[in-house]
Amino acid sequence: KIRLEDSGGIGGAEVLKEYTEVSERDAFLSKELADLDGSAKSLSELITDLENRLSTEFKTGVEKINVQFREYFALMFGGGEAHLSVINEPKRKKKDTDEIFDIEDLENNEIEEGKGSEADTYPSSAPADDGIDIEVNLPKKKIKGLMMLSGGERALTSIALLFAVSQVNPPPFIILDETDAALDEANSKKYADMIENLAKFSQLIVITHNRETMSRAGILYGVTMGMGGGSKLLSVAFDEAVAVAK
């Protein structure tokens, strides 16, 4: 009792009050920790479920795109084959550290001097990044890689792929701005055939100067300048124009 009096802790009510406050605080923090632990587990399960669903839907989507890609590619090039495949890009890390390096960095010798070399690296245990590889085989040519195509052929392949992607889940309308600007007359006809096929699923708004593309339109809008220098917007519905011409 004397020691308690000397330490100033003789007031039992104050000690009890402090004990009650600390106990309530401890119980509150324990509950918060339990809630956080439960939330972390729930988020972990959700992330795992989303990763599995995304992986499944991604692979399913690539298969659907492949079907359309082959059709549009054959339509654009008059035959041939095209295929998308999912690839995994592994990463490497240094033995002494956990720093991750891309394969391209290793191949280009971009690792700084004194920090190790490619020989000091090994495949990382981190998950690899998924990527897409495009395999093409042009008709009547011994070309089987995208890098061997000319600039125009790459443009046509890109157009075929974009159209194929749009057909997996067709949007209500698509806007195409001068996508046919670099095409010659023969390829313009193939492009117009693709446009006509695409119009069966989505409404198209096409900005173009290509006559072949314009000939496939339902309604044509154009801007003309009169003698006074003012611009006028003209529209022609081809169905009505044909009826009037007859």
Q: What angle do CA 126, 147, 169 make, to 5 degrees?
A: 70
Share of the chain above pLDDT 90, in %: 12
Cα 102 from Cα 122, distance rounded (Å): 11
Average pLDDT, rounded, for the chain? 77
**Which of 168, 181, 174 lies closest to 195, judged by CA?**
174
Cα 84 from Cα 25, distance rounded (Å): 59
Tens digit of pLDDT for each residue in 187-245? 888 888 888 888 888 888 898 888 888 888 888 888 888 777 788 888 888 777 667 66
More confidently predicted of 10 and 111: 10
Q: Kindly state the tokens that stand for 139.
A: 């008709």
**Which of 61, 60, 57, 66 lies closest to 135, judged by CA?**
66
Tens digit of pLDDT for each residue in 93-149? 554 444 454 544 544 444 444 444 444 444 455 555 667 788 888 887 776 677 777
Ramachandran area for residue 5 (φ above 0: left; ψ -120 to 50: alpha; else beta):
alpha
More confidently predicted of 228 and 33: 33
Element holding 49 (H helix, E strand): helix 12-77
Give pTM, 2 decimals.
Answer: 0.58
Give how far Cα 161 sits from Cα of 147, 149, 202, Å. Answer: 16, 15, 16
